[in-house]
Amino acid sequence: MNILVPLINGFEEIEAIATVDVLRRAGFNVVLAGMPGTMITGNRGVKVIADMKFDDINPKDFQALVLPGGQGSPKMGKSVKLMGMLRDFNDKDKLIAAICFSPMLLAKEGLLDNRRATVYPGNEKKLPKPRGERVVVDGNIITSQGPGTAMEFALKIVEALAGRSRAESLRKGLVCR
């Protein structure tokens, strides 16, 4: 299974790297796609070399989409291609996972209108049906609150794509609660 993780300057390092690490441990092919180039700098100055440019990806090659948050996430909303992917993935019931500020991109597209979701604390008014839970699953959409919930978020993605036993095995091996 191919999972796309778009990165833009200002992404939240913990959310992106922890999630990618857990997903790769689960055996998924995770592709980091840089917006606009392949050298991307996170909120805290950590530089990451993406596998490819976002402009070069073919959305049809992916079965899931994971959006890290951070100060750069609102800029991702300016990408016509990404916003179109969100709508298309939702229409096809493909998994969409968003953490921190990135659930607001889903709300912007109306994808959360009839769904429960969570977001970085203090931004709940920007969601139609906000929840105070650390991780919320509603259909094909998984949302989470922020850096401190990254491992739970990643394991919930694994559970959705590979089953509870695979997620629990990883949780135990990673010494997560």
Q: Is the pTM of this model over 0.75?
A: yes
Exactly one of 100, 112, 142, 170 is catalytic; name it: 100
pLDDT in tens, 57-98: 999 999 999 999 999 999 999 999 999 999 999 999 999 999
CA 116 to chain centre: 16
Rounded CA separation 150/87 (Å):
24
pLDDT for 177 beyond 90: no
* CATH code of the domain in which 127 resides: 3.40.50.880
Task: Indicate the pLDDT class of residue 108, thresholds 50, 70 and 90.
Answer: very high
Helices within the chain (DSSP H only): 13-25, 73-76, 80-91, 103-108, 150-162, 164-174
| Boundaries of domain holding 127 | 2-174
Average pLDDT of the residues in 37-57 = 97
- Let me know if 176 is a catalytic residue: no
The torsion angle over the Cα atoms of residues 154, 22, 108 and 57, rounded to 10 degrees, is -160
Q: What percent of the chain has pLDDT over 90?
A: 99
Measured distance CA(9)–CA(41) in Å, rounded: 5
Q: Cα torsion at 98, 104, 109, 111 (round to 10°)? A: 50
Our count of domains for the chain comes to: 1
Mean pLDDT of 138-159: 98
